[in-house]
Amino acid sequence: MRNAQELKQTFSYISSIKGDKDDKTRLFIHVSVHGNNSGIGVGPDMITWDNLAKTVQQMYARLRYYHGPIILILSACGANKQKLTAELTAGVNSAHVPFIPPEYMFVFSDDTVLWTDAVVTWTIFYREASKLDFTDKIAVQDLLNRLHKSGFGNLKYCRWDNGSKEYKHFVPKDK
């Protein structure tokens, strides 16, 4: 993506998916950009976490006909201090059109992410994620623990809990 407008166009395109109630195919949305604790940088544009949340919320409101799990990946420096999940939670609680935000969001738990580590970590993540049942949070945590032990990157997740209407967080720790 070259700029904020192109990111919005891409999310709009994704939201045009017409779902089949029997199709539970996972949808991974991977956004790899520069970032910091204020937001993400897409080309020359800085998108605040609040504005990104509005864009994601619009996409999810239109994706109501898609029935598979949706997993958002933010591969960016500073995404560990993201405010997207707080903004999405607030959006769920105040939305006129109900929507369920991304079931999972994965980010690096470190402030700075080396590109070489990101390439290796995401490659292993996707290989292993293809075998995962994302309704089994312990299996997802196990994957993140194994990635952490590899030394290439420490991922954390934000998992939407529909009962409490908030995100639950998990970060692997050194034992």
The two structure tokens encoding residue 50: 């609040």
**Do 114 and 75 touch, CB atoms closer than 8 A?**
no
The two structure tokens encoding residue 98: 């109900």
167: pLDDT confidence band, cut at 50, 70 and 90? Answer: very high
**Length of the chain measured in residues:** 175
- Percent of the chain clearing pLDDT 90 (strictly above): 69
152 phi, psi to nearest 5 deg: -85, -30
- Which helix (H) or strand (E) segment holds residue 122: the answer is helix 115-129
The amino acid at residue 120 is V
175: pLDDT confidence band, cut at 50, 70 and 90? Answer: low
**Do 64 and 16 touch, CB atoms closer than 8 A?**
no
pLDDT in tens, 27-49: 999 999 999 989 999 999 999 99
**Do 46 and 38 touch, CB atoms closer than 8 A?**
yes
The two structure tokens encoding residue 167: 């995100």
